[in-house]
Amino acid sequence: MLKKTLLATAVIGALSLTACKDNGQQAQQPGLFPVKGEVVASVNGVDITQPQIDEYVDYRAGMNQPAADPVEELINLEILRQAAVEQGFADKPEVRAAMTRAATNTLANPLVREKISGDVSDEDLRAEYDEQVKMMEEASGGGSEFNASHILVESEEEAKALIKQLDDGADFATLAEENSVGPSASSGGSLGWATADTYVEAFATALEQLEDGSYTAAPVETQFGWHVILRSESRESQAPEAPAFDMVKSQLEKVVMQKRMQSYMENLRNKANVVIVGQDSDSEASSEEAEPTEEAAPSDAE
């Protein structure tokens, strides 16, 4: 969600009201923009117009803070603004920087809202859905998953003793239930299916080196203690089941809109003459040199 610029900041920062000359004619000061419309009130010759009041009422309603008397509140804000100008606040670098930022946000926000609004067709949503499913399948392919169990104990001697019992034919799950200090003890040490990178490095290395149906011949030490690891089965990584298209349409719509804005921003950036002090200016494209680019169709998402 785009945040609104505080109206109080805009007014006190001298973004929306005008100043006056001795002859009573209003004139812009640096950073001020006159707001034309029916004059409802004035403060030392500075007009407060109906469009300003309407915008202020809408802003306060959007903040769930309805204005009790919008005219009086805007009059008070204009009095404060004028006092701040008289006392030199408009010349302070940090204040001027905040005024510039507020003005930039006030102009940029409606542009962004316009660019990310509009209808998104089912064809666009379906194309985005298919792309997401493809990415999910590619991300999960090519690796292995292991169905593993372990017995976690506090000392190497305990682990060696358990391996000796396994060598003598003891049941792994029973030993895990009776001896493991890990949370999987109640399920016979079972960790379920997971990729090796799910585990800490020493555990993962030992797991990958085992054959299906075998356990570690020597205890494996990690920061959690000493492990006896059983690799029951292995398989190629399985892609998670994709959610139904209708279940994620609203999320897909947001993604498509975000991509529209990203593409629009990239086009503007490519045509802009951007210079960052300290960087090689030859690497920056000027507005004359930059080639206009067509707005790309949305095709990717988080």
Residues 6+ apart with CB under 8 A from 220: 202, 203, 206, 226, 227, 228, 229
Query: Which residue, chain included where needed, has tokens 């404060």?
Result: 80
Give 22-90 as a DSSP string: TTS-EEPPTT-----S-EEEEETTEEEEHHHHHHHHHHHHHTT---S-HHHHHHHHHHHHHHHHHTTGG
Separation between Cα atoms, residue 179 and residue 152, nearest integer Å: 8
Question: Angle CA(59)–CA(63)–CA(67) in degrees, nearest 5?
Answer: 60
Instruction: Collect the ranges in the chain with pLDDT lower than 50.
Output: 1-28, 30-31, 283-302
Query: Quick check: 211 and 204 in contact, CB under 8 A?
Result: no
pTM beyond 0.85: the answer is: no
Q: For 121-146, how does the pLDDT look when each residue is reduced to its tens digit (9 = 90+)?
A: 999 999 999 998 888 877 665 578 99
Please state which CATH class domain 142-236 belongs to. Answer: alpha beta
Residue 232 is predicted with a pLDDT of 97
Residue 72 is predicted with a pLDDT of 97
- For 259, the enclosing helix (H) or strand (E) is helix 249-271
Going from the C-alpha of 50 to that of each of 14, 38, 56, 71, 299, the distances in angstroms are 18, 5, 10, 9, 44
Residue 141 is predicted with a pLDDT of 59
Separation between Cα atoms, residue 60 and residue 217, nearest integer Å: 71
Separation between Cα atoms, residue 203 and residue 152, nearest integer Å: 11
Segments of the chain assigned to CATH 3.10.50.40: 142-236
Residue 281 is predicted with a pLDDT of 53
Residue 135 is predicted with a pLDDT of 84
- Mark residue 290 as left, alpha or beta (left: phi above 0; alpha: psi -120 to 50; beta: remaining): beta
